[in-house]
Structure 1
């Protein structure tokens, strides 16, 4: 990159001649202060000016320059001295320059000398009281600086950003030094370094004739956006070409796009941090977040794929990568990236093609219509391709029903807010009874005990996607008993403690293949722990049967005070509403034990419903 610098040759001894003080200098002449410390001495003694000293020494490596000696001469001089931080900022602006050591040729050292002499006024030791608002100062190399005293003392150069005097009036034997927070740059240097001088992202876009529509969009959108993209960053900006904007607008104008929508679309092209194409290629594919806001005001997700170039959300490809800016990097792209909804994200990810195919099989639009609805929010647990490949549909359930069981309607559930709990999916037991889904967060996020979240929190405009590693089949009452750790003792009782009865097969029946549907009153681990001991198999079997009502899906809304139901064991249980204390309802078992509480209701399976008990029901042992 340094080879792009235009050749600037300085006449031999030019700087020696420039340092000769003239009595008729336009800047006036002020006698040097009474001290033996020179400007160079003062710089060497000041820690925050060590980079300035190094710069003077580096410039003097060229035979054309003798700056250290000249600034140690009689003067008088006024020197605006940039701090170490100012030189660090300058190096940041120069593409390919990491330190002053990179000024390693005579040509570069002469350029550095021009920069340094732009900070020197010869023939005067101008203190801050000598500086006035609007005053112009002629520098050693003939260019001018402009003084502003509004809100402080500022020195303007050929750029748009002035330097501020942070420490004024450091007096020396041959002049006065004012410490400033920026390296001043003359127009000659801006011209010479135009190929490698980095500018903020907004200015880079303004200077690119193929990004005029992007600039117009930035101006038409939130008025703070252009200034924001001049900020510190760093940012990664995906910059659509003019043609990309024309395609996106399709004959409309920017004025036809609501400001708030246009603002979010533009923010959907901005990523925090400087991400280069090599970074993306190293990752292969995946998600990052843009500054646009999606569901629950979370940062919008964007999918990148480098299998064939670099693409974003499956719709926009990078045509010019890695255009460096002062505050980040720009990738020019061939399409505007619209705000993605749930369907857009699914379509964009090649690892969700099996899901998309299942959702749209036979021209089905039920799911695409539902999940494109911007008036509703969704949580979608999206099985990856390998999950579909491994799924055998052992119960021959309807695929549309299975897919519905991966969708939660009416909420955007982010991983940070998930707890061990039940939610309802779009799948149904009957026309108005949505199936439950058990979420366990003890070790990652597991759904119904069979499917794990592999990629969480893919944010869309209308919800959030969690990619999962297994298809979530329609749950039976057994599914929930096994999945919920609160029922581990119940599962043990139904299986290893009662081997003579295949409770799992009985309670897995669905579609009228057995005694289903079932209403199960499920005791928790604490309920079993309250027993003196768990009975032996002969007594345990009727106890377990006494918790199941066959042939009915009795939900909480179906319960009335005093309602009785006959269990598989043969005895009735009685339910009273409302319950005592914290109980939703109270149950009286076949033995007449009262006050057994229903603590949770309506865990809905495809073959029945579960209500959670805080005690174990005991049948009448005398009948």
Structure 2
């Protein structure tokens, strides 16, 4: 149990020396109603006041106090009597106090007497009808209470929460009792209990002279925020100091910041749940979510790191931890945590330093400018440091192009919304044809068959980051064939079933090193299953060659009705637009088979483009 040194000046003897008389104008009539039951006897006879009786008796264990006898005396008195539930609520707010038995020293018992006498008005029996809105009442200890009659009868003490009179005008021989739903606390008790009294987070901030700017910001941003932080919670609040706010404002005024922006900045300091410094240290580093709203209306991510001091988003350090409140916990921090964009998150995370170095190599600002743009949403697949260490760039591709291949522009794609599908990245074939990226969700999230998402959904203001375990190199048409399970039979045909031809090497060349670029018409597994049997190697080789047009990257926008293209096998195929039924286009193969459907188009690789077929093309076997 903590000792409360501030209590030495508070004794019942000194309190009785400063009784304050209450005039008729202030506190109502002074003549008590006629009855034979004293205030103490009335309390003893009321089950919901048993804790009050116990509190009076506990206070009287100090040699300085004799409250039971005093309240059994002539009076008249007015007593605001807290219920058992009110005392239970008070004990819940006191760190280390489980029951009234914990007031087990003379110092603590004298403090209890200070609290109890704050509920007593001497020399007056004030009936409820004598109370008026805005009335000020002087208590036995010389402190004041304020009355409100708006929507009921409420009594305000030195805290931010008023007590409500739930039962009025219990008449006793020496005064009157009004039952209330809260233990009233004078400022003297608040000062004495400062180390152990748990108050709502808002009240904690109000009582801290170094958090005045935070309180002002809460009020300026949203009138409901102080009320929210008085709610049940629990919350963890990262409370910037006054100096932190001054630095953040940089000479501006709170009113200069749009209300919605300021509100979101403040919510970026609030975590749902109670997170202690020990919790953070045990985790080491990682992400949690704040109540701020980021891209896609998702809660903003917050990076914490405890490798040295406890820091948040790499910009704000805890200077005072674990300040307990009734509805959560507060950590005082030395900087306002602004709303992070994609770049801010990347810079804050030490596991992404290699990525940041690559993005900014040689003073390059292309990516930092792009990914700081608040008018677009982005999805970034961010390779961790180990991924960069392991990457050898086997095709000597341009690093900027590789980095662009990790960025999807125009969408914040969260893991919950991902499906087996193709998306376009910021990387390009030639100058204006964005490369595709294949996302596979069969076992986690895998990209182009080589890179796995190991940490998903880092939410920023302008998008989302997914941390990945491998750098995603620029894809060839072979990359997509291998990555997409719908092409597994095609891959088998190109490799196991045709060992005499190195189709993989032929279709992997790029940059004009071979017959690239290629336009590949890729049959699905279902297309191969529709064959009576997959032909032997000698017949299969020309069939596979009949699906490839060399030397051209022919996208859907380049097609026209009746266009013909010569394949590697030597025969031409004809494409007709529009297609029949669900087909995007119809293909006639070299053997004259018609109505072959193109089901998907423009899977763009760095060395060509793939269009998906529902039927295997057969060349002319008579020529």
TM-score (norm 1): 0.87
Report what 2:7 is aligned to: 6
In 2, the alpha carbon distance for the partners of 1:459 and 1:584 equals: 37
Report what 1:298 is aligned to: 298
In the TM superposition, 1:125-140 aligns within 5 A as 133=133
**Residues 146-201 of structure 1: CA distance to partner in whole angstroms, max 9, x if unpaired?**
44332122233343422113455678999876543211223442343244434444
CA shift for structure 1 position 471 = 0.5
Q: Report the CA distance shift for 1:366/1:196 in structure 2 as closer, same or farther (over 3 A).
A: same
Could you list the runs of 5+ residues in structure 1 that have no partner in the other structure? 19-23
Report what 1:386 is aligned to: 386
Could you list the runs of 5+ residues in structure 2 that have no partner in the other structure? 20-26
CA shift for structure 1 position 376 = 2.1
The reply on whether 1:30 has 2:42 as its aligned counterpart is no
**Corresponding residue SS for 1:275:** coil
Q: Report the CA distance shift for 1:267/1:354 in structure 2 as closer, same or farther (over 3 A).
A: same
Q: Report the CA distance shift for 1:82/1:335 in structure 2 as closer, same or farther (over 3 A).
A: same
In the TM superposition, 1:314-353 aligns within 5 A as 314-353=314-353
**Corresponding residue SS for 2:493:** helix
In 2, the alpha carbon distance for the partners of 1:491 and 1:89 equals: 70
Report what 1:581 is aligned to: 581
**Residues 480-510 of structure 1: CA distance to partner in whole angstroms, max 9, x if unpaired?**
1221222222223323333333322222222
Report what 1:621 is aligned to: 621
Which sits farther off after the overlay, 548-557 or 495-504?
A: 495-504
The reply on whether 1:406 has 2:406 as its aligned counterpart is yes
Q: Report the CA distance shift for 1:169/1:477 in structure 2 as closer, same or farther (over 3 A).
A: farther
Q: Report the CA distance shift for 1:14/1:405 in structure 2 as closer, same or farther (over 3 A).
A: closer
**Corresponding residue SS for 2:532:** coil
CA shift for structure 1 position 578 = 0.5
CA contact (8 A) 2:571 2:620 kept: yes
**Residues 456-479 of structure 1: CA distance to partner in whole angstroms, max 9, x if unpaired?**
222222221111111101111121
Which sits farther off after the overlay, 569-578 or 604-613?
A: 569-578
In 2, the alpha carbon distance for the partners of 1:116 and 1:499 equals: 94
Report what 1:474 is aligned to: 474
Which sits farther off after the overlay, 73-82 or 311-320?
A: 73-82
Q: Report the CA distance shift for 1:506/1:27 in structure 2 as closer, same or farther (over 3 A).
A: farther
The reply on whether 1:571 has 2:571 as its aligned counterpart is yes
Report what 2:368 is aligned to: 368
In 2, the alpha carbon distance for the partners of 1:412 and 1:32 equals: 74
Which sits farther off after the overlay, 258-267 or 172-181?
A: 172-181
**Corresponding residue SS for 1:86:** helix
CA contact (8 A) 2:29 2:125 kept: no
In 1, the alpha carbon distance for the partners of 2:174 and 2:550 equals: 104
**Residues 108-156 of structure 1: CA distance to partner in whole angstroms, max 9, x if unpaired?**
2332244345445689987756755556667666755444332122233
CA shift for structure 1 position 251 = 4.2
The reply on whether 1:428 has 2:431 as its aligned counterpart is no
CA contact (8 A) 2:28 2:126 kept: no
Report what 1:284 is aligned to: 284
In 2, the alpha carbon distance for the partners of 1:361 and 1:446 equals: 28
In the TM superposition, 1:140-539 aligns within 5 A as 145-167=145-167, 178-539=178-539
Q: Report the CA distance shift for 1:535/1:14 in structure 2 as closer, same or farther (over 3 A).
A: same
**Corresponding residue SS for 1:6:** helix
In 2, the alpha carbon distance for the partners of 1:68 and 1:522 equals: 94
In 2, the alpha carbon distance for the partners of 1:118 and 1:150 equals: 23
TM-score (norm 2): 0.87
CA contact (8 A) 2:320 2:332 kept: yes
In 1, the alpha carbon distance for the partners of 2:499 and 2:50 equals: 84
**Corresponding residue SS for 2:302:** strand
Q: Report the CA distance shift for 1:524/1:28 in structure 2 as closer, same or farther (over 3 A).
A: farther
**Corresponding residue SS for 1:111:** helix
Q: Report the CA distance shift for 1:466/1:194 in structure 2 as closer, same or farther (over 3 A).
A: same
In 1, the alpha carbon distance for the partners of 2:15 and 2:268 equals: 53
CA shift for structure 1 position 432 = 0.6
In 1, the alpha carbon distance for the partners of 2:170 and 2:195 equals: 36
CA contact (8 A) 2:43 2:50 kept: no
Which sits farther off after the overlay, 465-474 or 169-178?
A: 169-178
Report what 1:542 is aligned to: 542
In 1, the alpha carbon distance for the partners of 2:619 and 2:98 equals: 83
In 1, the alpha carbon distance for the partners of 2:214 and 2:134 equals: 36
**Corresponding residue SS for 2:388:** helix
**Corresponding residue SS for 1:492:** helix
CA contact (8 A) 2:554 2:609 kept: yes
The number of residue pairs the alignment matches comes to: 613
CA shift for structure 1 position 11 = 5.6
Q: Report the CA distance shift for 1:4/1:570 in structure 2 as closer, same or farther (over 3 A).
A: farther
**Residues 73-126 of structure 1: CA distance to partner in whole angstroms, max 9, x if unpaired?**
999986544345433432343344344443232322332244345445689987
Which sits farther off after the overlay, 91-100 or 398-407?
A: 91-100
Report what 1:21 is aligned to: none
Q: Report the CA distance shift for 1:582/1:73 in structure 2 as closer, same or farther (over 3 A).
A: farther
CA-based RMSD of the aligned residues comes to 3.6
In the TM superposition, 1:82-121 aligns within 5 A as 82-119=82-119
In the TM superposition, 1:53-72 aligns within 5 A as 55=55, 58-59=58-59, 62=62
In 1, the alpha carbon distance for the partners of 2:228 and 2:147 equals: 27
CA contact (8 A) 2:11 2:114 kept: no
Q: Report the CA distance shift for 1:351/1:533 in structure 2 as closer, same or farther (over 3 A).
A: same
